[in-house]
Structure 1
Amino acid sequence: MSNMPPTNEPRWYQLTTEATLKAQQSRASGLSASEAHQRLMQHGPNQLPARAGKSALMRFLAHFNDVLIYVLLAAAVLTAVMGHWVDTAVILGVAVINALIGFVQESNAEKSLKSIENMLSSSAQALRNDTLVTVEASMLVPGDVVILRAGDRIPADIRLLEAHNLRVEEAILTGESIAVTKQIAAIDDEVMIGDRFNLVFSGTTVSAGSGAGVVIATGADTELGKINHMMADIKQHRTPLLVQMDKLGKAIFAIILAMMAALFVFMLLLRDMPMGELLLSLIGLAVAAVPEGLPAIISIILSLGVQAMAGKKAIIRKLPTVETLGAMTVVCSDKTGTLTMNEMTVKAVILADKNFRVEGNSYQPTGRILAEHDESAIDAAQNPVLSHFLRVIDLCNESTVFQDEQGHWGITGGPTGGALKVLAGKVSLPPQPCAQLDKIPFDSEWKYMATLHQIGASTKLLMTGAPDVLMQHCRYQLSENGIEPLNIAHWETEIARYAREGLRMV
């Protein structure tokens, strides 16, 4: 039976902005400090409920919860009874080392995950008494009016009151890699979460534009909190390796008991061995049959797998997970955005008479531009057509590239614009006075962006967007020979060739 909280709350996306503020007993100027404090006492902090963690001792002892380890401990007790203290120490040492390997790996994974959590923004811009203040995200309450800017991580579920070319990256909720354009109008129909264009959700990121909205849910009441609650109801399953280890341990235990019973009957009835010597023989048989090194060997092998995955920037919390990952033959996913990092990188450039390949990955603006025909490095500053192209994608762009305190490169804005911005950043173009006079922001309806720039003494209209749309607006193309009539057949042929390589054309 599900323990999900009741869902009798209003459908906020169907309410107008005025009705939403009225339902939240709030106003466009924000709450007062006393109202915010009262609601904080009522609703609690804006945090997901923390699961009760185990102490370090309990996490260490949990690694002894294994059938083979039970057999090892039983063998240690038997050798101690026999007075073989060296064997007892060796067997106990193997069990402890096996537990230590798993405990250390789990602790390292927890520390890595904790460091990632600490990198997330924990503050928000809110209106209190019509004054913009910076508050801890955990202190936000329903009814707070929050200001959103490009690059912000949205701190709560919010009904938008204003949206200025606002686009939000919602891949963590919907798996959709393309940023969603937001608006403020009420939606009449009942729609799924991905189509609630007047709401933004906790944990998602503003990729472009700006906006403001009123908080409608915090903490466990957010969509992210509901997912967290559902995950708490998931029953933990043992991995295939652990299931096989349990079967092996039980089989070894049963075989040892059967061998001891058979030896007891044989020696007592047919050899008339004294009871004391017989018991010592049975204990020796049991100890000899226990594979003392098996648990340690398995832990060491899995640890090597974990280290290999760490080299691929994958954090694995439990050692047996490595074996489960290696045993997978089919991975099913609803769409690419679920599996990828949602980062785009320009790998090739098509011009009117030359094509180029681009080195580098992610958003770090490093890498050479190579001529496709001979893979020789190109000095873009000495190639007028390529320089002109790079300057256009740099200026006709709403994304920005940044490097954080940890040295990681990222972007604010959409991944497509970010990829073009990174490409322009890989080349040092000669400085030129530029000023933006006007712009048409990108919209999925018309599939292009346009800016009007003053570049030096010239005024130029720059456009970026889908190739098929841009070609409808063009009659000429720029080549090394100057301006010439547009050769649509050439562009379609080259686009199709690169598309067969799995590259997306922009």
Structure 2
Amino acid sequence: MEDGTERAWHAIPDPDEVLRQLNTSRDGLSTEQAAEALAKYGRNALTPPPKPSFWMKLWAQINTLFIWILFIAAVVSAGLQAWADMGLILGVVVINVGIGLFQEGKAEKAADAIKAMLSPTATVVRNGQRDTIDADLLVPGDVVVIKSGDKVPADLRLLECSNLQVQEAMLTGESVPISKNTAAVPADVGLGDRKCLAYSATAVSAGQGLGVVVATGDSAEIGKISKMVSEVTSGKTNLLIQMEVLARWLACIVGVISLATFLLALLHAHHSAGVAFQTAVAIAVAMIPAGLPALVTIVLALGTTIMAKQNAIVRQLPCMETLGSLTVICSDKTGTLTKNEMTVVAVRSAGNLYKVTGVGYDPKGTFQISGEDLSSDKQACVQALLEGTVLCNDSALTTDDSTGTTIYTPNGAPTEVALITAALKAGINTDALKKTTPRVASVPFESEHKFMATIHAVGPATGSGSQRRVIFVKGAPDRLMPLCNSQLADDELETIRGGHGGSGVVPLQPEFWLTAQEQLSSQGLRVLAICRAEVAPGENVVGMTANDILARKSQPFLTLMGLMAILDPPRDEAIAAVKVAHRAGIVVKMITGDHALTGLAIGRMLGIAGNGSVITGPELDAMSDEQLRLVAPTCNVFARASPENKLRIVRALQSVPPVAAINAYNNANKKSSRATSPAGEESTNGMLAQTSLGVPSADVKIEVAGDSGSLATSSYGSDLTQGDDGKMHHRKGTGVNVVAMTGDGVNDAPALKAADIGVAMGITGTDVSKEAAKMVLADDNFATIVTAVREGRRVWDNLRKILLFNLPVNFAQGGSIFWAFVFGLHDMPLTAMQVLYVNLVTAVTMGIMLAAEPAEPTVMDRPPRRPGKRLLGKLILWRCIFVTHLLVILVLGSFYWGQTEGLSLARRRAEAFNVLVFGEIGYAMTTRFIKASTLHKRALHGNPWCFLSIGLTAALQFFLTYTPGVSSFLHMGEGMSGIQWARALVSMVIVYFVVEFEKALVDPVLMPLLVRPVLNWVEKHTPDWLSMPKPHKWMGCKKGGVVRYNSVTVRE
């Protein structure tokens, strides 16, 4: 027996030659041959990938710099016998790790889901006898019987077919069952066109067949996909990388200041080494934002909750942040961009083209000519045509009125149900028609012949007791027109009950019908021809076959009644969502398993067809990776795409700059743009000049005229800069596309996992696609993705607000202790317990307020954030420095003021503690808007958590200050006077208005003159281990996958 794993079995013309090469026959293998093959090829099962254990997942949560810093602080606290401090710190660690395990605890189940789709048993022919065996015992060479309702147990080369139809949507994306035959096809055709093969795990929807096993287990097509899913591993997201960099910076800053404090306390204040060390530890604990990991998780979790209510279910929290930087959405067509409801949109008769209104299977609609509805009496002109489509039909449209609203459910092939719906729109009683015009014989549809025929008894019986019989045929126009010798004149179309005797029949005009077919097909419509003919009295039609009909081609006998044009229409909300995506600088690409013309037509309706180009799967197969990187950004419609094609498209897009996204933003927002090459030549439609690898050359730039200021200050950050000429320039070497990929089938799983955001369909999606994806759409609606992008951008903004709030507060706590020693104050203004309370309670309470802040109105009117843009931008760093010192001045000022008034240490610490917390409240109020002023009526509504958090925090301060036991535990047991409370409240007002004033000055004065030059110098001299990965480290290709810090790597 020859190895059958990698041959092009679909290209071997003779099925018996396939059997010979596999050393088998139609009687199947012998028991001994099967045992030998099982030992050689192994079981018909998928190799499971290794899974991480619970301890590995636990270690992954613990092994972060933030957690290690907290561990060290806990150990030091234990060494100083500060058990309460240690307990609180370890509590924070447990909470953070627990939240991480809860959110990320789902094991990788994609391969298990694929395994569950395989057939458990198979009907096999061995030793000349049929037998049912476990499907995992099948081997190449086994002869297998399949029938309607079965799952195909292995990849089969078909030997016999009888009306065999297989649902292959999970592999190819085709939304309708595929008719199978035994005819060979060229070796280079795609999966969806290999009609003589049946694939493992696909479902037989009709008919029966006999096939020989040519591939099993990992060698089958579904096994190859399973292997691709296992080999594609998701790397760290941008957010996780950013948090690691932040932790490094914090470790350095905390370490330096703690060491300086230790030396000051020991040498300047002349404390003992133990006291100096304890003070240094207190500063370290004060400056570490212990609640920050929990706050980040809260922001992401809140975002997922909001998105779940809008039908977007996020499976991995960090991808919430990634949504905000999407530049490309690659979407499936059927059911996502379209309704997945075939609809007759036009009827072509000899005299007119009738437009049919209405969408889907709801029979509400009319027939129109030139935009005018036809009256009910004039609709009779197409009644004969529509009645023919009802009778030559094996499907039905069922209704359910139990809920008070009529629900229409298709039962059968979508195309046939669409024909019935069109007939109902014309007022035809389909059930009555079928009863009064009974079927007496039929010829089932076969892909080899591409038509279906039914013979019906029509009208009353004649004197001899027999009835007239009429044959109706529907199918591909190019197959039926050679069988036609006449056509119905448009004004003579009559019902089949009318006793037609030949009036109104005129000679066929082939050129007219060919032109009509081409015009409809060029719009991506599926075109069917409907024909009829009288059956001669006495002619035997029982047992008629397609060959009997084709044999009459030399004497054409059919009358062509007309053409039906059918389309799966785009969703209205998808059209609107595409416009929003373009306005937000996001390119939408359609990757479908359907035909090129259909994909292009839907693309035009959606507004994503771009320059009108479409690339098919076979064309992609012929391209090198370099060629694909060149064309992928410029083509928005990909047709007949295989799983490998989808994965390659995603990788190609992930390895080139987001030029198309910038152009989409410019075009949608009416900004004139042009791309210039080094030689000064302009490229077409605003795209950047490209090198042979599809990557902009080093000197290429984008120049944007018009309102460039809004783009300059957009979230795209350093990817776009404003030059001295006032125009926008694309900074070379920065940024690559961030790609979302949608899918519902097994074939989509590798691309879903490789994409930055894999989006699975919740209704039609397989378990495989859902487990490989990071997000699931509960409503299978493209518009939900755009809604999720909006939420992702809100999450990013709110993460920055939380950092903007937390870091200055923590630095102010440590700074208060540090500067107290510098200025010779022998007592610390804040205790360790007060600091931990602020870190874990106050900061989290106010942080929740910022986490719940709604999206800004213009969040979808700005281009995507540059991939890799820092959370800690220059503005945040500046404000950290500014607000830290503002709070330190207020805290130390109140502490020193109390000392001059002769207040006790407990009272002074109580005042310093409350000044800090109320200063935080004032700062949190102004942080709700990073740049815009909060002195606006918009600040009074939109966030129900705002005043709740402020009120709760203030109430807790009164409780802590005056509750016996609690106040002494926090070292402020004597309470505060009225004047002290007044100073605390004034500190809140001071912080609020000083920061609001700073906002007014930061852009026009502070940033250009002070902040940007200083921080640019710091950035230039920052070592690599404290920086984000350099662009060259996450751009470009490597064998097996694109190396990117926030995307994927593939094991080699």
Report the TM range for the smaller structure's normalisation: 0.7 to 0.9
Post-superposition CA distance 1:6-26 (Å, at most 9, x none): 998544334332222122222
Equivalent residue for 1:184? 182
Moved more, 123-132 or 247-256: 123-132
* Letter in structure 1 aligned against 2:442: D
Q: Percent identity?
A: 35
Provide the C-alpha distance between the structure 2 equivalents of 1:425 and 1:500, rounded to a whole number of angstroms.
18
Q: Is the 8 A contact 2:167 2:204 kept in 1?
A: yes
Counterpart secondary structure, 2:17: helix
Asked whether the equivalents of residues 208 and 412 of structure 1 are also in contact (C-alpha less than 8 Å), the reply is: no
Report the counterpart of residue 475 of structure 1 in structure 2. Answer: 489
Cα distance, 1:27 vs. partner?
1.6
1:47 partner SS: coil
Per-residue CA shift, 1:280-300, capped at 9, x if unaligned?
111111111122222222223
Change (3 A) 1:387 1:141: farther
Q: 1:233 to 1:282 in 2, by over 3 A?
A: same
**Partner residue in 2 for 1:98:** 96
Number of paired residues? 474
**Match of residue 296 from structure 2:** 298
Contact preservation (8 Å) 2:118, 2:201? no
Counterpart Cα distance in 1 of 2:411 and 2:18:
29
Counterpart amino acid of 1:162?
Answer: E
Q: For 1:298-340, what per-residue CA distance to the aligned partner results, in whole angstroms no more than 9, with x for missing partners?
A: 223333444556567766543223333443121246x736x84
Q: What is the correspondence of 1:213-362 to structure 2 with a 5 Å cutoff? A: 213-234=211-232, 236-307=234-305, 316-332=314-330, 336=333, 340=336, 344-346=340-342, 355-358=356-359
Following TM superposition, by how much is the alpha carbon of 1:121 offset from its aligned partner in structure 2, in angstroms?
4.3
1:240-297, Cα deviation, whole Å (9 max, x unpaired)? 1111121122222222112212223333333222211111111111111122222222
SS in 1 for 2:328: coil
Residues 38-53 of structure 1 correspond to what in structure 2 (within 5 A)?
38-53=36-51
After superposition, give the CA deviation of every residue in 1:401-426 in whole Å (9 maximum; x if it has no partner). 99xxxxxx998975534666799999
SS at match of 2:72: helix
**Does the CA-based 8 Å contact 2:449-2:479 persist in structure 1?**
no
**Distance in 2, Cα, partners of 1:185 & 1:467:** 21
Give 1:201 shift.
Answer: 2.7
Could you tell me which of 364, 369, 374 is aligned with 1:369?
364
> Counterpart in 2 of 1:364?
none
Residue correspondence of structure 1 range 19-58 to structure 2 within 5 A:
19-33=17-31, 35-58=33-56
In 2, the alpha carbon distance for the partners of 1:76 and 1:456 equals 94
Whether the aligned pair in 1 keeps the contact of 2:162 and 2:209 (CA below 8 Å) is: yes
Alignment map for 1:111-150 (pairs within 5 Å) = 118=116, 121-150=119-148
Question: Equivalent residue for 1:72?
Answer: 70
Task: Give CA deviations for 1:68-103 in whole Å, capped at 9, x if unaligned.
Answer: 233333333334334444443443334333333343
Name the CA distance, whole Å, in 1 between partners of 2:568 and 2:184: 42
- Judged with a 3 Å threshold, the aligned counterparts in structure 2 of structure 1 residues 441 and 91 are, in CA distance, closer, same or farther, namely same
Structure 1 length-normalised TM: 0.72
1:435 counterpart residue number = 439
Q: Give the Cα separation in 2 of the matches to 1:21 and 1:500.
A: 40
* SS of structure 2 residue aligned to 1:452: strand
C-alpha spacing 1:371/1:119, structure 2 compared with 1 (3 Å): farther
C-alpha distance in 2 between matches for 1:86 and 1:372:
80
Instruction: Determine the C-alpha separation between the residues in 1 that align with 2:97 and 2:397.
Output: 45
Change (3 A) 1:345 1:186: closer
1:193-232 correspondence runs (5 A): 193=191, 195-206=193-204, 208-232=206-230
What 5-or-longer segments of structure 1 have no aligned partner?
Answer: 1-5, 361-366, 374-379, 403-408
Using a 3 Å threshold, how does the CA distance of structure 1 residues 119 and 232 change in structure 2: closer, same or farther?
Answer: closer
- State whether structure 2 residue 450 is matched by structure 1 residue 452: no
Kept after mapping to 1: 8 A contact 2:123/2:131: yes
Contact 1:177 1:342 in 2 (8 A): no
Change (3 A) 1:107 1:221: same
Q: Which moved more, 1:150-159 or 1:278-287?
A: 150-159
Summarize the Cα distance change of 1:276–1:450 in structure 2 as closer, same or farther, 3 Å threshold.
Answer: same
Structure 1 residues 323-375: Cα deviation after superposition (integer angstroms, max 9, x where no partner): 33443121246x736x8499721467667989553567xxxxxx5736699xx
Partner of 1:416: 415
Q: Is the 8 A contact 1:124 1:155 kept in 2?
A: yes
Shift in CA distance, 413/144, structure 1 to aligned 2, threshold 3 Å: farther
Contact 1:101 1:300 in 2 (8 A): no
Deviates more, 1:449-458 or 1:315-324: 449-458
1:359 and 1:121 map into 2 onto residues whose CA distance is: 33
Describe the shift of the 1:189–1:354 C-alpha distance in structure 2 as closer, same or farther (beyond 3 A).
Answer: closer
**After the TM superposition, which of the residue ranges 297-306 and 243-252 deviates more from structure 2?**
297-306
Give the letter aligned to residue 30 of structure 1.
Answer: G
| Residues 430, 39 of structure 1: alpha-carbon distance in 2 compared, 3 angstrom cutoff | same
Looking at structure 2, the residues matched to 410 and 135 of structure 1 have their Cα atoms a distance apart, in angstroms, of 37
Q: SS at 1:327's partner residue?
A: coil
